[in-house]
Amino acid sequence: MSSEILINMTPNETRVALVENGVLQEVYIERERKRGLVGNVYKGKVSRVLPGMQAAFIDIGLERAAFLHASDIVSESVSGEEEKLDNITELVHEGQDICVQVIKDPLGTKGARLTTQVSIPSRFLVFMPGTSHIGVSQKIEGEEERARLREHMENIITEEYAGGYILRTAAEGISEAELDADVKFLNRLWDAIRERMRTAPTKSVIHEDLPLAMRMMRDLVSPEIEKVRIDSRETFERAARFARKFIPEVSRRIEYYPGERPIFDLYSVEDEIHKALEKKAQLKSGGYLIIDQTEALTTIDVNTGAFVGHRNLEETIFKTNLEAAQAIARQVRLRNLGGIIILDFIDMQDEEHKRQVLRALEKALERDHAKCHISQVSGLGLVEMTRKRTRESLEHVLCETCPTCNGRGSLRTAETVCYEIFREILREARQYDAQTFLVMAGHEVVDRLLDEESDNIAELEDFIGKPIKLQVESLYTQEQYDVVLM
């Protein structure tokens, strides 16, 4: 599979697109004023301890206090190894200074999620000071290769470089010398971080992860990536220097893109981003997905749409669901949907068809960089899955709640608002001795009151014995109105 990474730089925003076989699969966006926090290390202060939740809120200098659960706190045991305790009150107290690392960006109304177990990634390794565990990425499948990498790490790790290490997917096939260089780099970085932990003021950043462009060079570039195209000369030069130092085998694949045509117009990336903000996602067969993202979970509904098939209903449903499985895996990555996701495939009677659709979904999600877990088909024909959420979804990054409907996605009809106005006039006529009632409302509501509801207005005037005047307020939404006593 041929893949490319496109990096678009503007003064206030960095965008990275991962394209596989000419089709956009993932988008990463980072804005100068709102950079991602995952991986950053802070010196914070415990602002509140909640024994009932076994958690604490930590002030790390952000708009909202960050959340630290007892299960994410480690403390040194007598042997010097780090251990986890259960009771939050034994671990922290209000006013205490504490060094923490962000493991989840602030999402919606929630603050960042923290841990005290600092981990520092490099090209081939993730370093976890305080533990002695050596792990290997599950994506490295060969048992011989896994054993070889473990043996190299056991040779490298001495008392000077003690700690826990996880070998990343990129470590597959590399030499012991390259691993040794990575271990030394990580330990030098950790020494510098520890020094800043001692001297830094409270509520300050101790260590920041790389900017998005460099982070993607470190995390996304693999042997499958044929090219990394960058449309900024300055960023290209920085990326080239970064590659020569840390990933020399990639340096030849980095290109400066000087074209007049915007880089995100290649492979229709810009159009695909706009489509990813819509609720409806079309399938090539004529079917479609409806994607509803809410605070609690995301639902994806599969429909046959215009696809009528060629043989019978069961075959039509099976083919639509197979295509939908591929499309769902792509949409989940592209929109960066996380948390609980409920998939409503079209009901299938054949157990073999259900198995094949689930297998197709699992296979399509294997390329996802986020951890996913898929359940079996439930009794209601639904598939439940979870996807690890560490940053905001594409919709939350690029959009805001509609101020007219407040995110409901619907408005009360003009007819409904008219009847509310009638009830309000009756209520006020009983309470106050007004000479005239002035109704101020939006254009659609006043038009209806003057047209379809004119008879009702006349009857209401007779009933209360007072005139009712109407006034259009151009700035009012369809749901807004005021009844003024005159």
Give one DSSP letter per residue of 247-279, joined into a string.
-GGGGGGEEE---SS-GGGGGGHHHHHHHTTSS
Domain assignment present for residue 217? The answer is no
Domain assignment present for residue 405? The answer is no
Q: Are residues 450 and 361 in the same domain?
A: no
Q: Are residues 255 and 283 in the same domain?
A: no
Q: What mean pLDDT, rounded, does the chain reach?
A: 89
Q: Are 166 and 137 in contact (CB under 8 A)?
A: yes
pLDDT level of residue 407 (50, 70, 90 thresholds): confident
Q: Are residues 369 and 392 in the same domain?
A: yes
> Which of residues 365, 398, 431 is at a domain's end?
398
Q: Are residues 141 and 45 in the same domain?
A: yes
Alpha carbon distances (Å) from 178 to 52, 234, 249: 47, 28, 12
Q: Are residues 168 and 107 in the same domain?
A: yes
pLDDT level of residue 85 (50, 70, 90 thresholds): low
Q: Are residues 350 and 424 in the same domain?
A: no
pLDDT level of residue 83 (50, 70, 90 thresholds): low
CATH number at residue 295: 3.40.630
Q: Are residues 384 and 295 in the same domain?
A: yes
Q: Are 173 and 138 in contact (CB under 8 A)?
A: no
CB-CB neighbours of 421 under 10 Å: 23
pLDDT at 223 over 80: no
Q: Are 324 and 345 in contact (CB under 8 A)?
A: yes
**Each residue's pLDDT tens digit, 349-390:** 888 999 999 999 999 998 888 889 998 888 787 999 999 887
pLDDT confidence of residue 77: 46
355 φ, ψ (degrees, to nearest 5)? -65, -45
Please report how the helices 454-464 and 443-450 are oriented relative to each other, as an axis angle in degrees rounded to 10: 80
CATH number at residue 435: 3.40.1260.20
Domain assignment present for residue 320? The answer is yes
Q: Are residues 248 and 188 in the same domain?
A: no
Domain assignment present for residue 306? The answer is yes
Alpha carbon distances (Å) from 296 to 111, 337, 339, 341: 16, 12, 8, 9
Alpha-carbon distance of 331 to 336, in angstroms, equals 8
pLDDT level of residue 331 (50, 70, 90 thresholds): very high
Q: Are 134 and 164 in contact (CB under 8 A)?
A: yes
Tokens of 406: 């407040």
Q: Are residues 29 and 54 in the same domain?
A: no
Where are the alpha helices (H) located in 71-175, listed in sequence order? 88-91, 143-156
Tokens of 29: 């966006």
What is the pTM (predicted TM-score) of this model? 0.79
CB-CB neighbours of 317 under 10 Å: 23
Tokens 């504490």 sit on residue = 98
Give the max Cα distance, the chain.
96
CB-CB neighbours of 88 under 10 Å: 21
**Residues spanned by the domain of 318:** 276-398
Tokens of 17: 């697109």
Q: Are residues 476 and 458 in the same domain?
A: yes
For the chain, the domain total comes to: 4
pLDDT confidence of residue 367: 86
Q: Are residues 58 and 139 in the same domain?
A: yes
Neighbouring residues of 217: CB distance < 8 A, sequence distance ≥ 6: 228, 239, 242, 243, 247, 250
Neighbouring residues of 238: CB distance < 8 A, sequence distance ≥ 6: 213, 214
**Each residue's pLDDT tens digit, 245-288:** 777 778 899 999 998 889 999 889 999 999 999 999 999 988 89
Q: Are residues 54 and 203 in the same domain?
A: yes
Tokens 């040779």 sit on residue = 155
Domain assignment present for residue 409? The answer is no
> Which of residues 398, 432, 465 is at a domain's end?
398
Domain assignment present for residue 257? The answer is yes
Domain assignment present for residue 148? The answer is yes
pLDDT level of residue 80 (50, 70, 90 thresholds): very low
Domain assignment present for residue 220? The answer is no
Alpha-carbon distance of 160 to 12, in angstroms, equals 42
Alpha carbon distances (Å) from 289 to 162, 325, 332, 414: 50, 10, 12, 31
CATH number at residue 163: 2.40.50.140
pLDDT confidence of residue 59: 93
Residue 384, SS3 per DSSP: strand
Tokens of 328: 């769902």
Average pLDDT over residues 197-216: 89
> Which of residues 366, 398, 430 is at a domain's end?
398
14 φ, ψ (degrees, to nearest 5)? -120, 130
Q: Are 28 and 335 in contact (CB under 8 A)?
A: no
Alpha-carbon distance of 452 to 181, in angstroms, equals 80
